[in-house]
């Protein structure tokens, strides 16, 4: 690699200022990610992140948060949508300004990441057509009807929008009610 060339992770994208999405980064993409000065990475997987990646994140003082571990059996099958609990917890972290700059990622940056970002877009009052177009753009030819249906039916009232959510998300604090 020539000096000065930065390579983003697979399926990298800017969601909002300070909020990014991607597939699993490799050593080649670490210099690119270092430029983002990330504070938090949401790793949406039932599997442990690769040791090399976890070590790199620790060296960079990035909080690596794994969502989907343990009891979430839905994460074990790539054909099932991510669980509602993982999406709600992921959105709680996305809505926390102390997590920024933040990267949301899964293995390929398509389905689990796309579902979480799609549900965020619903909170932002995007039209369903726009939400699904963004999901499909990142899923390429591999979009999944179950994930699209999950996004469409996701109840945004399960997510409490904090009074001080990141301003770049353009959310109103009165939206959403505490679950339960």
pLDDT in tens, 113-132: 999 999 999 999 899 889 88
- List the structure tokens of 168: 């770049």
Nearest to 63 by CA among 36, 102, 106: 102
For residues 88-105, give the mean pLDDT.
94
- List the structure tokens of 163: 């009074």
- List the structure tokens of 22: 């991607």
CATH number of 13-154: 3.90.190.10
- Annotated catalytic, 106? yes
Is the confidence at residue 75, as pLDDT, over 70? no
| pLDDT band of 70, cuts 50, 70, 90 | low
**For the CA atoms of the chain, what is the radius of gyration?**
16
26 in Cβ contact with 109 (< 8 Å): no
The Cα 69–Cα 73 span in angstroms is: 9
Q: How far is CA 156 from CA 99, 117, 167, in A?
A: 21, 13, 18
Q: Where are the beta strands (DSSP E) in the chain?
A: 13-16, 19-22, 40-44, 63-67, 102-105
Q: Cβ contacts of residue 147 below 8 Å, gap of 6+?
A: 81, 82, 111, 114, 115, 118, 135, 139
Pairing relationship of beta strands 13-16 and 19-22 according to DSSP bridges: antiparallel
Output the pTM of the full model: 0.85
Catalytic residue among 106, 119, 125, 140: 106
Is the confidence at residue 89, as pLDDT, over 80? yes
Domain locations along the chain: 13-154
């Amino acid at each position: 690699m020539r000096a000065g060339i930065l390579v983003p992770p697979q399926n990298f994208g800017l969601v909002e200022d300070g909020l990014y999405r991607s597939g699993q980064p490799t050593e080649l993409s670490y210099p690119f990610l270092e430029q983002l000065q990330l504070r938090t990475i949401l790793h949406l997987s039932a599997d442990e992140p690769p040791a090399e990646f976890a070590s790199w994140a620790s060296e960079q003082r990035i909080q690596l948060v794994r969502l989907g571990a343990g009891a979430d059996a839905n994460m074990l099958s790539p054909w099932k949508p991510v669980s509602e609990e993982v999406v709600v917890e992921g959105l709680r972290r996305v809505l926390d300004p102390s997590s920024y700059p933040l990267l949301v990622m899964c293995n390929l940056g398509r389905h689990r990441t796309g579902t979480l970002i799609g549900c965020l877009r619903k909170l932002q009052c995007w039209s369903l057509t726009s939400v699904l177009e963004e999901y499909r753009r990142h899923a390429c030819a591999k979009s999944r009807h179950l994930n699209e249906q999950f996004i469409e039916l996701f109840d945004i009232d399960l997510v409490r929008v904090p009074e001080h959510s990141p301003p770049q998300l353009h959310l109103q604090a009165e939206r959403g009610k505490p679950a339960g």
